[in-house]
Amino acid sequence: MIRFEKVTKNYPGPGKPALDQVTVDIDKGEFVYLVGQSGSGKSTALRIVLRELRPTSGRVYVAGKEINRMAGWKVPRLRRQVGTVFQDFRLLPNKTVTENVAFALQVIGKSRREINRVVPETLEVVGLKDKGSRMPDELSGGEQQRVAIARAFVNRPMIIIADEPTGNLDPATSVGIMNLLEDINKRGTTVVMATHDHGLVDQFRKRVVELDQGKVVRDEAAGSYGFQH
């Protein structure tokens, strides 16, 4: 589903590469943690999957396509297959919960009928069935992140990429978000989650890929967070 072959990324300017000869292969339906200290290259790797960034060298395959050589006009199609969730939720503050989720479908040209069917369904999946008409600032952090997950999932992508989705949440709320991501994963969606939340990684055992200064230093099925922090 996602495959990195000897991927190196140098940002402009001096300094070590953000990713250094990274080779990882993630299958359909897997749940993978990407762990490592701040600055180890997790976000860089995720942005490469979205083709927000291009690697300096190496190949990246997503859903069977080599995305670095993909023509620019095909990139939107790639992104429709990859849902994204961020630490800071990124909701539109002047739209209701329902409108925020519907927005993702509107702007890719889905019909109103389909939107009216799928959005409530998805809000139910994330446990916000009754809060569709709330504004984002009327929700708790955990609920806002559920809206963001609903928006990422509403188009039923093959992959969900989450960059520190629990970074702004307290531990109890984080567990709820993890349960939700696990649920989505069980429905067949591949989930890649960058995190440095030890507790979660140790509690919800999944495959762990650890980065250190841009290099893969560990790739372990059902691993723990490890000793470094």
Partner 1 sequence: MQLRYVFTELRSGLRRNLSMHVAVILTLFVSLTLAGCGMLLQRQADKTAEALGNELQILVNLCVVDDPNGSPTCGGGAVTDPQRKAIENALKENPEVESYEYQTQEEGFEEAQDIPQYEPYFDGPDPIITVEDWPPQYWVTLKDPKEAEGVKSAVEGLEGVSVIQDQREDLEPVFGIIDSLKYGSWIGSGLLLLASLLLVANTIRLAAMARRREIGIMRLVGASTLYIALPFLLESLVTAAIGVALTAGALAAFTRFAILDGLADVIEFVPWIGWDDYVQSLIGLVPPGILILGPALTLIPTLLLTRKYIKV
Ligand X SMILES: Nc1ncnc2c1ncn2[C@@H]1O[C@H](COP(=O)(O)OP(=O)(O)O)[C@@H](O)[C@H]1O
Decide whether 31 or 86 has the Cβ nearer to ligand X. Answer: 86
Q: Listing from the earlier edge strand, what are the strands of the sheet with 2-9? A: 19-26, 2-9, 57-62, 65-66
Q: By rule CB under 8 A, what string of x and - marks binding of each residue 125-144 to partner 1? A: --------------------
Q: Select from ligand X, Mg ion, partner 1, none the partner in contact with residue 17, using the beta carbon and a kind-dependent cut-off of 5 to 8 Å.
A: none
Residue 119 found at the interface with ligand X (CB under 6 A): no
- Residues lying near Mg ion in the complex (CB under 5 A) are found at 43
Min CB(136)–partner 1 separation in Å: 12
Separation between Cα atoms, residue 85 and residue 216, nearest integer Å: 23
Residue labelled with tokens 């919960």: 97
Per the structure block, which two tokens stand in for 218? 């560990």
Instruction: Check binding of 103 to partner 1 (CB under 8 A).
Output: yes
Helix spans in 36-137 (H): 42-49, 75-80, 97-106, 112-125
Least Cα distance to 106 among 89, 96, 119 occurs for: 119
Segment 47 to 86, residues that bind partner 1, using CB under 8 A: 50-51, 72-73, 75-81, 84
Nearer to partner 1, 151 or 196 (CB): 151
Q: Which of residues 27-66 bind ligand X (CB under 6 A)?
A: 36, 38-44
Q: Interface with partner 1 includes 92 (CB under 8 A)?
A: yes
Q: Which DSSP symbol is given to 15? A: S
Integer Cα distance of 171 and 177 in angstroms: 10
Q: Are 70 and 216 in contact (CB under 8 A)?
A: no
Binding site for partner 1 (CB under 8 A): 50-51, 72-73, 75-81, 84, 90, 92, 103-104, 106-112, 151, 155
Binding site for ligand X (CB under 6 A): 11, 18, 36, 38-44
